[in-house]
Amino acid sequence: MAETLKQEAKRLLADVPNEYVFRCHDGVILQGMKELGDALNSTADETYVFHANTEKNDFTNWVRDVIKDDILAKDLQKAKNRTQAAKLVASRIAILSKRLAKADYVLIHHGSRGNMQKRGAVAPLFVITVGRKRGTL
């Protein structure tokens, strides 16, 4: 089954397993996206440059390969400095947090509110009609 936006947000904002934490040059250990944002706001520019420079970008690699957020990874790859990277992480966290706060949408294919009530189901607040291509569900 496909992952919903809410499930994806929860997964991306979760802490990573201990064996995949990010160990900063200055000794700070990051367990997830929120801690990355905090670290980028407070770490020295020298620490940022150690991890993100013309030869490598450890933050991008960790976000892409461990957290599995390709969107943030691509944004971080383009960041020119620590402050810009911190803003990008904060923005991504805000977007994902909004997804978590939203109610789940109910997906209905070829049905009507009346039919649902006849079957004893509670009528949803939102109804989205989903089309489908031939040969797929």
Number of domains in the chain: 2
The pLDDT value given to residue 1: 60
Same domain as 83, residue 48: yes
Q: 64-118, pLDDT tens digit by residue?
A: 999 999 999 999 999 999 999 999 999 999 999 999 888 555 444 444 444 444 4
Same domain as 107, residue 51: no
- Residue with the bigger pLDDT between 14 and 128: it is 14
Same domain as 65, residue 21: yes
Same domain as 63, residue 29: yes
Same domain as 14, residue 65: yes
The pLDDT value given to residue 61: 98
How many CA within 13 A on the CB side of residue 98? 5
Whether the predicted pLDDT of 119 surpasses 50 = no
Same domain as 124, residue 97: no
What is the domain range of residue 119?
Answer: 103-137
pTM given for the model: 0.74
**128 three-class SS:** strand
Same domain as 134, residue 68: no
Same domain as 110, residue 69: no
Whether the predicted pLDDT of 121 surpasses 90 = no
Mean pLDDT, range 52-75, rounded to an integer: 98
Distances (CA, A) of 120 to 45, 113, 117, 123: 60, 11, 5, 9
Give the C-alpha separation, 89 to 73, whole Å.
10
Give the C-alpha separation, 92 to 99, whole Å.
11
Same domain as 88, residue 30: yes
Q: 9-38, pLDDT tens digit by residue?
A: 999 999 999 999 999 999 999 999 999 999
Same domain as 31, residue 74: yes
Same domain as 78, residue 130: no
Same domain as 88, residue 110: no
User: Residues 40, 47: contact at Cβ < 8 Å?
Assistant: no
Whether the predicted pLDDT of 128 surpasses 60 = no
